[in-house]
Amino acid sequence: MDITILGIESSCDDTSAAVIRNNVLLSNVIASQAVHVKYGGVIPELASRAHQQNIIPVVDTALRDAGVSTDEIDAIAFTRGPGLLGSLLVGVSFAKGLAIAGNIPMVEVNHLQGHILSHFLDLPDRQLPHPEFPFLCLLVSGGHTQIVRVDSPLEMRIVGTTIDDAAGEAFDKCAKVMGLPYPGGPVIDKLAREGDPAAFRFAKPRVDGFDFSFSGLKTSFLYTLRDAVAEDPDFIDKHRADLCASLQRTIVDMLLEKLIRASKEFGIKDIAIAGGVSANSGLRDEIVEAGRRRGWRTFLPEFRFTTDNAAMIAMAGYYRYRHGDFAALDVSPVARLEELA
Judged by the rule CB under 5 A, the positions of this chain that interact with Zn ion are 141, 308
162 binds, among Zn ion, ligand KG4, none (CB under 5 to 8 A by kind): none
170 binds, among Zn ion, ligand KG4, none (CB under 5 to 8 A by kind): none
Nearer to ligand KG4, 160 or 185 (CB): 185
Nearer to Zn ion, 153 or 291 (CB): 153
Per-residue 3-state assignment (H helix, E strand, C coil) for the chain? CCCEEEEEECCCCEEEEEEEECCEEEEEEEEECHHHHHHCCCCHHHHHHHHHHHHHHHHHHHHHHHCCCHHHCCEEEEEEECCCHHHHHHHHHHHHHHHHHHCCCEEEEEHHHHHHHHHHCEECCECCCCCCCCEEEEEECCCCEEEEEEEECCEEEEEEEECCCCHHHHHHHHHHHCCCCCCHHHHHHHHHCCCCCCCCCCCCCCCCCCCECCHHHHHHHHHHHHHHHHHCCCHHHHHHHHHHHHHHHHHHHHHHHHHHHHHHHHCCCEEEEECHHHHCHHHHHHHHHHHHHHCCEEECCCHHHCCCCHHHHHHHHHHHHHCCCCCCCCCCCCCCHHHCC
CB of 318 vs Zn ion, minimal distance in Å: 18
Nearer to ligand KG4, 68 or 116 (CB): 116
Burial grade of 313 (CB within 10 A; 0-12, 13-18, 19 or more): buried
CB of 171 vs ligand KG4, minimal distance in Å: 5
28 binds, among Zn ion, ligand KG4, none (CB under 5 to 8 A by kind): none
Nearer to ligand KG4, 139 or 268 (CB): 139
Contact residues toward ligand KG4 (CB under 6 A) are: 12, 141-143, 168, 171-172, 183-186, 189, 275-277, 279-280, 307-308
171 binds, among Zn ion, ligand KG4, none (CB under 5 to 8 A by kind): ligand KG4
CB of 309 vs ligand KG4, minimal distance in Å: 8
Nearer to ligand KG4, 280 or 298 (CB): 280
CB of 184 vs ligand KG4, minimal distance in Å: 6
107 binds, among ligand KG4, Zn ion, none (CB under 5 to 8 A by kind): none
**154-159 long-range contacts, CB within 8 A, separation 24+:** 154/319, 154/320, 154/323, 154/325, 156/113, 156/116, 159/210, 159/262, 159/266
CB of 308 vs ligand KG4, minimal distance in Å: 4
Nearer to ligand KG4, 3 or 163 (CB): 163
Nearer to Zn ion, 171 or 202 (CB): 171
165 binds, among ligand KG4, Zn ion, none (CB under 5 to 8 A by kind): none
145 binds, among Zn ion, ligand KG4, none (CB under 5 to 8 A by kind): none
Nearer to ligand KG4, 98 or 277 (CB): 277
279 binds, among ligand KG4, Zn ion, none (CB under 5 to 8 A by kind): ligand KG4
CB of 222 vs ligand KG4, minimal distance in Å: 18
At how many degrees (to 10) do helices 235-266 and 281-294 cross? 30
CB of 277 vs ligand KG4, minimal distance in Å: 4
183 cis-preceded (ω within 30 degrees of 0): yes
CB of 190 vs ligand KG4, minimal distance in Å: 8
